[in-house]
A and B are shown apart, each in its own frame.
Chain A
Amino acid sequence: MWGPLGATALGLYLEKLAGYLLPASVLEQASVRRIAALLPIALLAAIVAVQTVGSGRGVALDARIPGLAVAVVLLSRRANFLVTVVGAAATTAIVRHLGWMA
């Protein structure tokens, strides 16, 4: 685990440093800026989806779904990060504890 951890740390640092060394013209292009803005959000949305219904090499509908649903409701009501995360985890835990979903 330490190898990939170190590689990621080094890579992330070089990305940060690269910005200071690159000629400004590279990132002045609208399309590059657009992609730089969209890509993290798209990747994070994909991770949210997989973390919610993915189960190894398959899809499983379980107590994580009501958990995420509660998170979305809380976010739409401007709940902060902690409330959102705890609300989602508690929902999943309760649904599971009651045996409604796996």
Chain B
Amino acid sequence: MARTDPDAPASTAWRIERAALLRTSLVVATAVAVYGLSFGALAVAAGFSLAQTCAMSLFMFNGASQLAFVGTLGAGGSMLVAVASALLIGARNASYGVRLAPLLGIRGLRRMLAAVVTVDESTALAMANERADDRGRAGRFGFWSAGVAVYLLWNLTTVIGAIAAQHLGDPRALGLDSAVAAGLAALVWPSLRDAATRRAAAVAALVAIALTPVAPAGVPVILAGLVAVAVVVRVDRALPSRSAALPRDAFGTAA
């Protein structure tokens, strides 16, 4: 059988593959949508206005960072600490760009747009579909379709969640103060299959609690994260070498 020409405008095989990639993107975006609803509601419950809540999803576009930002300020942390927490959590996105740059092969305006939608889901879909025999076409399509689908649904559901929360009553009576922790636990959960990651999470949780009475709000989280990673990286070095884990999909989707 002759190999399909990767540059043929729309061969049947490519049409089928493209439809499958779009479907997968929608499934991934639907999972994120649920999270967007929660984020919108929690941000409003934490005292952010509707406009601020929507601006966060539009311009930050990083779920875990947004929840950390809202959680830190909601718990009375200083603004500097809230910004630092969000940026430390978002640092992994830089590693995605390094990974994606050769696949996407773009410059200028398109590269600046690609950076906007460089998140867990788009990276996961790009990497899962990266192949040599189509010169990366499926990987590139997966990146853009997942990135755009997640961006649209994330922002749409943020608005819906935020508006719904404006009509809810006392956040404490509804138990919303444990919803942030539960939501973040759900994000972390898939990564805990890895033993070293589990150790880092446990160390970080314990250090954060221990520091809470003695450090300003938000600071224990940052210190605990740094200490835990330092400890685990050291332990790893003492143990037989293992391959570095790739950044996991922090939205907990199975992409």
Contacts and interface: CB of A to CB of B under 8 A. Distances in A.
Nearest to A92: B175
B221 interface: yes
A46 to B, nearest CB: 4
A93 B75 contact: no
A24 to B, nearest CB: 6
A21 B118 CA distance: 13
Interface string B195-217: 01100111111111100110011
Given A17-B115, A22-B94, A1 B204 contact: no
Given A46-B225, A49-B206, A39 B48 contact: no
Nearest to B96: A19
B212 A59 contact: yes
Contact of A3 (B69, B76, B79, B252): B79
A56 B34 contact: no
Contacts of A51: 71, 75, 177-178, 180-181, 184
Contacts of B180: 47, 51
B20 interface: no
B50 interface: no
A27 B92 contact: no
A17 B50 CA distance: 28
A27 B93 CA distance: 12
A93 B173 contact: yes
Contacts of A49: 204-206, 208-209, 224
Given A19-B101, A80-B34, A4 B79 contact: yes
B98 interface: yes
A24 B213 contact: no
B175 A46 contact: no
A100 interface: no
Contacts of A86: 179
B185 A30 contact: no
Contacts of B101: 19-20, 24
| Chain B CB within 10 A, most for which of A43, A54, A85 | A43
B204 A84 contact: no
A42 B181 contact: no
A47 B89 CA distance: 11
Contact of B244 (A20, A37, A97): A37
B52 A16 contact: no
B175 A71 contact: no
A38 B106 CA distance: 29
Given A48-B181, A49-B206, 4 more contacts: A8-B83, A36-B94, A37-B246, A47-B208
16 contacts: A5-B56, A13-B115, A21-B97, A34-B244, A40-B89, A41-B250, A42-B225, A42-B232, A45-B200, A45-B205, A47-B221, A49-B204, A58-B213, A67-B182, A75-B185, A88-B182
Shortest 9 CB-CB distances between A and B: which pairs? A19-B97, A67-B178, A92-B175, A88-B182, A93-B175, A45-B201, A9-B59, A46-B208, A49-B205
